[in-house]
Amino acid sequence: MATLTYTPVENVPIAHNTVYNKFHTNETRKLNFRIRQLQKLYWGLKDEEPALLEACKLDLGKSAFETYLTEVGWVLNDILFMIKNLKRFAKDEKAEDTSLMNMAMSPKIRKDPLGAVLIIGAYNFPIQLTLGPLVGAIAAGCTAVIKPSENAVNAAKIMEKIIKNSLDSNAYQVVQGGVPETTALLDCKWDLIFYTGSANVGKIISKKAAETLTPVVLELGGKNPAIITKNADPRLAARRLLWAKLMNVGQVCVSQNYILVDKEILPAFLKQLEIAFKEFQPKGAESADDYGKVINERQWLRLKQMLDSTQGKVLIGGKTNKSTLFFEPTVVQVSSPDDSLLKDESFGPLIPILPVNNLDEAVRIANKVDPTPLGLYPFGNKTETAQILSMTRSGGASINDGFFHASIPTLEFGGVGDSGQGAYRGKASFDAFTHRRAITTTPSWVEGLLAIRYPPYTNDKLKK
């Protein structure tokens, strides 16, 4: 197994100082600098594309197609979008129509970089979740240290190589490591911490950031529901939700954690799920070359423990193999919202199904299990899906699909409540790392008009 060389803890403050000092040279504020760095990142990724595809195969068993679609191609696309639109995003914005007097001061918003930022990535999409935010940071004119997930060892190594070889090494640094190295990073004063990962670690980040009033963007997880009403199309629901669980072996923050199905449609839905399994994996998951693996033994054991402790009945799947970290996509019919499969985020290929009497009951359960999940997936007719949206909250939602909203590159992505704060992608990636600085310029010729603001405040002034 590949090993990752961790950054010595004593070098962590050096990485911070380097990017901090570089930011204060003001060089990274220049648009030409930012565009050049984005171009270099693009070509760095292109050069290492085969190595990145191989790395994700080794780390997560991902097929080259999936890695290109959700990782390499994803970030390349984000870079091109940013290069194309950066000048427009970075332009000053005039204040909306204000009084003639105020217009004389040219009120506007100037887009300033936040400064030196820290980006902490998760393991499941190791490239996209680390370099995606970096695209926003570079575009906004920030400098950055990135801390890839130590669990996706191979991807972490290649990303370090790309950044070292392609980018300005004083502006962008990589720190490798786990808890001690990340803790040392959190001991430094940043201008923003952009964190993707679990809610528990999100709380650690938030608490630490609060000590120095450092702003945070938190991209966390959640217990995302799919809701299938009696008027949904069972074939579409089965295919689309199964797709959303096969991808990356269900290690996707936005995939549905459980499915609430109207009892009236349950038999048809289960039948269609079986058909979809046969279509997508004709020889079974274990023989499917495009079906990946659980990231490591710790996560595999956690999933196995979840499966072993359910009170539900396994309807499809259930095979596992610790030595290969294989975990079959597994459909379990549960009978209570208190089942362990609903209570915890599985972040794996578990597909618990809870039959419900109607839409209202489904919404009640979803709101109780997690009032603010990262994603929500209502399947039904127009009126029903609109009704579900109007009675729930979530970071985002895909109507009649699994997590499609998260794949639109120009659509702002983020959580709400316990699933996170702040958003990115498209223009939002630029905004996430930008301070909207309010500016006015008071010309000397308005002094006569301004006379009224100066004391003494006599009663005569009230009449003017």
CB crowding 408-426: b at 16 or more within 10 Å, else e: eeeebbbbbbbbbbbbbbb
Side by side, the strands of the sheet bearing 216-219 are 172-174, 143-147, 116-120, 192-196, 216-219, 420-421
CA distance 35 to 82: 9
Nearer to ligand NAD, 189 or 382 (CB): 189
Report, in Å, the least distance between residue 118 CB and ligand NAD: 11
Least Cβ distance, residue 141 to ligand NAD (angstroms): 24
> At closest approach, how far in Å is the CB of 108 from ligand NAD?
33
Residue 368 has which token pair?
């109780």
Active site residue 219: yes
- The rounded distance, in Å, linking the Cα atoms of 397 and 389 is 8
CB–CB of 113/435 below 8 Å? yes
Which residues 6+ apart lie within 8 Å of 109 measured at CB? 92, 93, 95, 436, 437, 438, 439
Q: How far apart are the C-alpha atoms of 274 and 282, rounded to whole Å?
A: 11
Minimum CB–partner distance for residue 417 and ligand NAD (Å): 12
Given the residues 160, 181, 219, 412, the one annotated as active site: 219
* Residue 54, φ and ψ in degrees, nearest 5: -65, -40
Nearer to ligand NAD, 186 or 359 (CB): 186
When the beta carbons of 132 and 317 are compared against ligand NAD, the nearer one is 132
**Among 280, 281, 233, residue whose Cα is nearest residue 261:** 233
| Distance in angstroms (rounded) separating the CA atoms of residues 416 and 422 | 8
Q: Could you give the C-alpha distances from 269 to 84, 241, 259, 264, in angstroms and in order? A: 44, 11, 11, 10
Rounded to whole angstroms, the Cα distance separating 416 from 436 reads 22
- Cis status of the peptide bond prior to 456, with omega within 30 of 0: yes
Whole-angstrom distance, CA of residue 23 vs CA of residue 114: 10
Write the DSSP symbol of residue 232: S
Q: Which is nearer to ligand NAD, 44 or 133 (CB)?
A: 133
Q: Which residue is nearest to ligand NAD (CB)?
A: 221
Which residues are within 8 A (CB) of 96 and not within 5 positions of it... i.e. 6 or more apart?
none
Residues 126, 148 contacting (CB under 8 angstroms): yes
Give the C-alpha separation, 91 to 161, whole Å. 33
CB of 122 to ligand NAD, least distance (A): 4
Helix, strand or coil for residue 338? coil
Q: Give the nearest distance from C-beta 3 to ligand NAD in angstroms.
A: 16
CB nearer to ligand NAD: pick between 204 and 411: 204
Q: How far is the CB of 30 from ligand NAD (least distance, A)?
A: 30
C-alpha to C-alpha distance for 74 and 199, rounded to whole angstroms? 25
Q: Which is nearer to ligand NAD, 169 or 206 (CB)?
A: 206
Residue pointed to by tokens 């994700």: 56
Nearer to ligand NAD, 224 or 333 (CB): 224
Between 58 and 201, CB nearer to ligand NAD: 201
Q: Which positions touch ligand NAD (CB under 6 A)?
A: 120-124, 129, 147, 149-151, 178-179, 182-183, 196-198, 201, 204, 219-221, 253, 345, 347, 374, 415, 420
State the minimum distance, in angstroms, from the CB of residue 379 to ligand NAD.
22
HEC string for 127-157 = CHHHHHHHHHHHHHCCEEEEECCCCCHHHHH
Active-site residue list: 219
